[in-house]
Amino acid sequence: LTPRQAPERCGAVPTSVRGVTLHRLPRIEDPRGNLTFGEVTRHIPFEVRRYFLVFDVPGEHIRGEHAHRTLEQFLICVHGSCRAGADDGRNKEEFVLDDPSIGLYLPPMVWGVQYRYSRDAVLLALTSDLYDADDYIRDYQQFLAEIRGGT
């Protein structure tokens, strides 16, 4: 399966995974240095309460592998590249995050993984809430049970 490409022009596209959208953020190219930006709520559909940065990930390692019950996330690979997978229990897709002007919005109740980090990759996540261990679903069968209303 070919990963879905981010749109060339500024804007967001829906995906086959429920609620997941792939974004091209504004870019301002300039010989003195390039700039890209995102605004709450025009580009990022939630109030940002926390960010985290993941870096120095060994290339073979898979990160993520969980869903959130309520948390919303907006992922940007701000340097280097990685791939992100999203899965709503019915449909799954893979995305290439290889440019700081590409954003991936992950709503609650989507199983997310990130992998194939380049050595120099830095992944920025903007999130809608503070860390809460109880918001994580770390078992895929449990995730399927919860989306099917089986808990």
Give the residues lining the site for its own copies (CB under 8 A).
Answer: 31-40, 47-58, 61, 63, 76, 78-80, 100, 117, 120, 122, 124, 126, 130-131
Cα separations in angstroms, 109 against 5, 40, 64: 23, 22, 13
Catalytic residue among 23, 61, 66, 79: 66
Please report how close the Cβ of residue 50 comes to its own copies at its closest, in angstroms: 5
Please report how close the Cβ of residue 92 comes to its own copies at its closest, in angstroms: 22
Between residues 58 and 149, which has the closer beta carbon with respect to its own copies? 58
Q: Which of 42, 109, 123, 116 is nearest to 75 (CA)?
A: 123
Annotated active-site residue 66? The verdict is: yes
Q: Which residues of 80-97 are buried (b: 16+ CB within 10 A; e: fewer)?
A: bbbbbbbbbbeebbbbbb
**In the chain, how long is the greatest CA-to-CA distance?**
55
Between residues 17 and 124, which has the closer beta carbon with respect to its own copies? 124
Distance CA 142, CA 78 (A): 32
Please report how close the Cβ of residue 44 comes to its own copies at its closest, in angstroms: 8
Distance CA 35, CA 28 (A): 5
Between residues 3 and 38, which has the closer beta carbon with respect to its own copies? 38
Instruction: Write out the catalytic residue numbers.
Output: 66
